[in-house]
Structure 1
Amino acid sequence: MADDIRSHKGPRHVAIIMDGNGRWATQRGRPRLFGHHAGARRVREIVEACPDYGVEYLTIFAFSTENWKRTQVEVAGLMSLFRRYITKEARALRDENVQVRFIGDRVRLDAKLVSLMDELELMTAHCTGINLTIALNYGGRDEVARATKRLAQDVADGRLNPRDVNEETLPKYLDTCVLPDPDLVIRTSGEARISNFLLWQSAYSEYEFVDTLWPDFTAGEFGRLMLSYGARDRRFGAVKA
């Protein structure tokens, strides 16, 4: 069965907006952070499922630039969860040959968390299996703004000729410069919006909006989406003759 799955032409890069943790917890009469902890545990299952479907890159939206607007209690709890997750999962991710990288603006994050992020990236830099990218304090518009500043600085310093700037130039300055664009973007919880996630990179991505809340999103449901992706006709603006 595994060989049959791998032979299916699925997406190479999948990005996921992991939505619904808070509602999942509320439905159970528990605080929102209970849902975030359940959602963090779900990540491992999806990472482990990726190789069975030929997925080489998985990018997950963990915390957006807009999430700072949540209550101080929830934000502090999320930051503590991120620190605990990295500390707990670092060795397992390395042993499972998962290369981890983080995207987003690290300036606002606390020094301890940034240090753990740096250590995990360094620890897994040699890994050759699934590429797991975690978007933390990330926003698509913020990413493009930061990239544009770096591009403008290179122009000002004479390292880049303005006449040479085209649509292939900016991606070299994005946080995702070493990643292929996502083939498929999944959003859980029934919401049908992209929430400022990978705005430039997902210009021609396929989308799946599913009703399942993230803590209930199983490897089985992930697999069904991978298989249905293979039936899509991706034309990238062109028309077949």
Structure 2
Amino acid sequence: MGIFDRLKGKKPQATGKNMPVPRHIAVIMDGNGRWAKKRGLPRKAGHKVGAETFRTIATYCKDIGVQYFTVYAFSTENWKRPQDEVDALMNLFRTYLREAAETMVARGVAVRVLGDLSVLPEDIRRQIDEVHALADTLGENAATASLCINYGGRDEIKNAVRALAKQVQDGTLKPEDITEDSISQNLYTAHMPDPDLIIRPSGEIRTSNFLLWQSAYSEYYFTDVLWPDFSTQDMDAAIADFNRRSRRFGGV
């Protein structure tokens, strides 16, 4: 149940696969560590179960007609975590990323990785190249599941501004010709529409530097469910809640 619905005493109705769905859903995958702690397990065990939840929910989203599914997997700030946890996450990417991509491509889901990938270990970068090559076999119109790794919204905007500044410096762009669209086209998400719905599990109510530019008119859904426990029924509830909202995009 969403936090705000709980506070209002309302219970979202899960409606199954026949409801209208957002074109693009994004998720801040939160609560893996707390899920593990509640069970007396190391935090890396929560991350492993959370990775399986990603595959389940991404495939379900494709099955119900969601075109784009984007998750926050590792932020630019997550390098500050204990080294053993960072190492565990990198090893999880090593052992899981290509295998998950192969499984999901077989189901018609193209897996992409977004973020500043330049600082990732070389073997992981090679694996990401292989994952993108797999995704390319499905064509441009395939359902897409994107993992944001070493991603930060402010860092993304900074890099977009640098790219535009370089074009101005080279004389290929005039400052007065910089538009919102030209900024969007220099973001990691240039190939996809802005998210319609952003889901934050685990009871936290903040954006955590995720898709700051793209979320200007996104609807947010907060739930107490920890990410490893997030189910297809929870996704149904979030979409049902989204469908009850009136999106005016600044109008009346």
**Which TM-score bucket, shorter chain as reference?**
over 0.9
1-side partners of 2:17 and 2:89: how far apart?
35
Q: Return the letter of the residue paired with 1:187.
A: R
Q: Give the count of matched residue pairs.
A: 236
CA deviations over 1:114-160 (Å, ceiling 9, x no partner) = 11011101111132432111100000000000111111001111111
Q: Please say if 1:19 is aligned against 2:30.
A: yes
- Shift, 1:101, TM fit: 1.3
| Counterpart residue identity of residue 157, structure 2 | V
Q: TM-score, normalised by structure 1?
A: 0.94
Check the 8 A contact 1:25/1:34 in 2, yes or no: yes
Question: Is 2:121 aligned against 1:101?
Answer: no
- Aligned partners of 1:48 and 1:168: how far apart in 2? 30
Given that residues 93 and 124 in structure 1 are in contact (C-alpha distance below 8 angstroms), is that contact kept between their aligned partners in structure 2? no
Match of 1:41 in 2: 52
Give the residue type in structure 1 aligned to 2:218.
Answer: S
* SS of equivalent to 1:168: helix
Q: Would you say 1:112 and 2:123 are equivalent positions?
A: yes
Q: Percent identity?
A: 47
Specify the SS of the correspondent of 1:124: helix
Aligned to 2:39: 28
- CA deviation string 1:83-125 (max 9, x = no partner): 1111322321221111121111012100000110111011111
1:198 is aligned, of 211, 217, 230, to 211
Q: Say if 2:241 is the partner of 1:228.
A: yes
| Cα distance, 1:87–1:52 mapped onto 2, change above 3 Å | closer
Residue type at the aligned position of 1:66 = E
Residue 73 of structure 2 is aligned to residue 78 of structure 1? no
Q: Structure 1 stretches of 5 or more lacking a match?
A: none
Offset at 1:9?
A: 2.4
CA deviation after TM superposition for structure 1 residue 10, in Å: 2.1
Q: CA deviation at 1:161?
A: 1.4
TM-score (norm 2): 0.90
Q: Which amino acid aligns with 2:29?
A: M
Encode CA deviations 1:197-234: one digit per residue, 9 max, x unaligned: 00000000000010000000001111121122111100
User: How far does the alpha carbon of each residue in 1:54-100 deviate from its partner, in whole angstroms, 9 at most, with x for none?
Assistant: 21100000000000000000000000001111132232122111112
Q: Calculate the aligned-residue CA RMSD, in Å.
A: 1.3
Matches within 5 A, 1:160-171: 160-171=173-184
Q: Distance in 2 between matches of 1:177 and 1:187?
A: 23
